[in-house]
Amino acid sequence: MQQESTNSQNHCEYCGEPIPSLNLNGTPKRFCSGACVSGSRIKSDDDRFWSRVDRSGGPDACWLWIGRVMPAGYGALQSARPNKHWTAHRYSWTIANGEIPDGMCICHRCDVKLCVNPAHLFLGTVEDNVADRVSKWRTSCGETHHRATLTESQVRDILRRFDLGEKTQKQLADEYGVPRDTIHCIVHRQTWKHLHR
């Protein structure tokens, strides 16, 4: 009778369901099933997230992600839920603020891709994110752009010579070894817009 009374109060440590039997040695079971044993070994997403964050700089510093990093330079977190992946800064924002509205970005005030400090993050549209990047001169342009084939001095020379009527677009393209479309985009201010004539 004493055993039944103890047993009726025993609940699974993982799911909370009542456990109707005892271990063979008469001690209460901790889990109701093998699935609950396995589940208890998996850390929650929040625990896994925080175990990969360096907060040693204090509340105002960048909290750097020390887990897996994606090619784009942002932290990556695999959720315990199947097929659910997060960028670390987006996950951090949801912990602090809740769901991210559809179509919205989580932007960095500090411009540190690996920072996950919610105080350094803000909600914005794609346009807000682009405007923030441009206002801080973080946009690749000119020679720093990965597809640039000309230098700034060459582009300035192209603009000067075209404006003076010294050369046609085709002649400039032939001289610099680039497609005519490249020259067209330069002289019509579709590319290299940061250079003033």
Q: State the pTM of this model.
A: 0.51
**What pLDDT score does 81 carry?**
63
The greatest distance separating any two alpha carbons of the chain, rounded to the nearest whole angstrom, comes to 106
If one compares 8 and 59, the residue with the highest pLDDT of the two is 59
**What pLDDT score does 126 carry?**
83
- Domains of the chain, residue spans: 2-41, 45-135, 143-187
- Answer yes or no: are the C-beta atoms of 109 and 122 closer than 8 Å: yes
**What pLDDT score does 166 carry?**
92
**What pLDDT score does 7 carry?**
38
| Lowest pLDDT segment from 12-21, 91-100, 117-126 | 12-21
pLDDT digits (tens, 9 = 90+) for 50-85: 999 999 999 999 999 999 998 888 999 887 666 678
If one compares 111 and 14, the residue with the highest pLDDT of the two is 111
- Answer yes or no: are the C-beta atoms of 89 and 75 closer than 8 Å: yes
Give the chain's mean pLDDT.
81
Is the pLDDT at 1 greater than 50, yes or no? no
Q: What's the pLDDT band for 100 if we cut at 50, 70, 90?
A: very high
Residues above pLDDT 90, as percent of the chain: 31
**What pLDDT score does 147 carry?**
64
Is the pLDDT at 158 greater than 70, yes or no? yes
Backbone torsions φ then ψ of 193, nearest 5 degrees: -65, -20
Please report the sign of the dihedral spanned by the C-alpha atoms of residue 138, residue 143, residue 148, residue 153.
positive
For 45-135, give the CATH class.
alpha beta
